[in-house]
């Protein structure tokens, strides 16, 4: 893996030079002084450290990792507040895509590709429970992740509140929704929240939604693949906005 760095000196040097890691793994039981050094440097760089057993470290690499390894970020991460301000300053209607537990690299890459095609201002993912953005993910997005802004947040509910406090509605697809995507007012500033295929959007976030919507379908299936559903919903946003332009 091209973005995997391991060994104490290389990892410490990367952190001291402000490099961002998607994931940083520290072996359980390493000496306390080194653990404190890594935790302090990681905190300064807003990097989450996962303490894992040696078996996990050995699966990452068979080489001498010295109890520390991590995946360097292959994209630049942005602040959500900055992207929101930029959209308003440009006179554009904000459109964001939020991901709740999307861990499949193929799905996330396809969602990013649709988002880039449809003019999304930013994709929001969480530090934990999200697909790692590496070379494979970049490939799955057909390079779109090099073109679209990505925000990585610790708590998704805080990101939602920031958007709502600035006039951006939260739209969630839900089987119990009474309105279709065509009936919803998607020409407004909008953040679309998509959940993992196995469990959907978390109930707590469903309660925070300003609008619950459903995608009409024929047949006995009750849902689309999450990347397909994302593309359909984003297209409806663009369609409505073009109609009002």
Q: What is the pLDDT of residues 162-199, one digit of tens each?
A: 999 999 999 999 888 999 999 999 999 999 999 988 88
Could you tell me whether strands 169-173 and 49-52 are parallel, antiparallel, or unpaired per DSSP bridges? Answer: unpaired
pLDDT recorded at residue 59: 95
Angle value at C-alpha 133, between 139 and 53, nearest 5 degrees: 125
pLDDT recorded at residue 223: 76
Report how far apart, in Å, the C-alpha atoms of 210 and of each of 124, 193, 194 are.
18, 11, 14
Helices and strands (H, E) in the chain, number of each type: 9, 11
Task: Pick left, alpha or beta for residue 7 (phi over 0 → left; psi -120 to 50 → alpha; otherwise beta).
Answer: left
Higher pLDDT, 35 or 20: 35
The mean pLDDT value of the chain amounts to: 93
Residue 208, pLDDT > 80, answer yes
pLDDT (average), residues 187-214 = 94
Which residues are bridge partners to 77 per DSSP?
150
For residue 222, the tally of other CB atoms under 10 A from its CB is 8
Fold of the 80-244 domain: Alpha/beta knot (3.40.1280)
Residue 134, pLDDT > 90, answer no
Which residue ranges make up each domain of the chain? 4-72, 80-244
In this prediction, residue 23 has a pLDDT band, given cuts at 50, 70 and 90, of confident
The string of pLDDT tens digits covering residues 24-61 is: 999 999 999 999 999 999 999 888 899 999 999 999 99
pLDDT recorded at residue 224: 87
Burial class (CB in 10 A: 0-12, 13-18, 19+), 234: buried
Report how far apart, in Å, the C-alpha atoms of 20 and of each of 1, 47, 80 are.
16, 7, 17
pLDDT recorded at residue 74: 84
Residue 203, pLDDT > 60, answer yes
pLDDT recorded at residue 176: 86
Q: Cα–Cα distance between 148 and 210 in angstroms, integer? A: 25
Superfamily grouping for domain 4-72: Ribosomal protein L30/S12 (3.30.1330.30)
pLDDT recorded at residue 3: 83
pLDDT recorded at residue 1: 57
pLDDT recorded at residue 37: 96
Residue 177's Cβ-side half-sphere holds a number of Cα atoms within 13 Å equal to 23
């Amino acid at each position: 893996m091209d973005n995997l760095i391991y060994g104490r000196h290389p990892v410490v040097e990367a952190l001291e030079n402000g490099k961002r890691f998607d994931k940083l793994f520290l072996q359980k039981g390493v000496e306390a002084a080194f653990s404190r050094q890594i935790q302090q440097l990681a905190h300064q760089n807003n990097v989450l450290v996962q303490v894992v057993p040696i078996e996990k470290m050995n699966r990452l690499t068979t080489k001498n990792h010295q109890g520390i390894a991590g995946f360097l970020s292959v994209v630049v991460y942005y602040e959500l507040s900055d992207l929101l301000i930029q959209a308003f300053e440009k006179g554009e209607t904000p459109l964001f895509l939020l991901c709740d537990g999307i861990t499949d690299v193929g799905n996330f890459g396809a969602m990013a590709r649709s988002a880039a095609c449809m003019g999304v201002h930013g994709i929001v993912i969480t530090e934990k429970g999200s697909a790692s953005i590496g070379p494979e993910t970049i490939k799955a997005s057909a390079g779109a992740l090099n073109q679209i802004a990505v925000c990585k947040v610790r708590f998704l509910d805080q990101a939602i509140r920031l958007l709502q406090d600035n006039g951006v509605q939260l739209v969630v697809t839900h089987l119990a929704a009474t309105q279709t995507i065509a009936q919803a007012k998607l020409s407004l500033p909008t953040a679309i929240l998509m959940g993992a295929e196995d469990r959907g959007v978390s109930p707590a976030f469903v309660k925070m939604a300003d609008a619950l919507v459903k995608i009409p379908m024929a047949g006995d299936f009750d849902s689309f693949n999450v990347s397909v559903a994302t593309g359909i919903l984003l297209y409806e946003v663009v369609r409505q906005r073009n109609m009002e332009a």
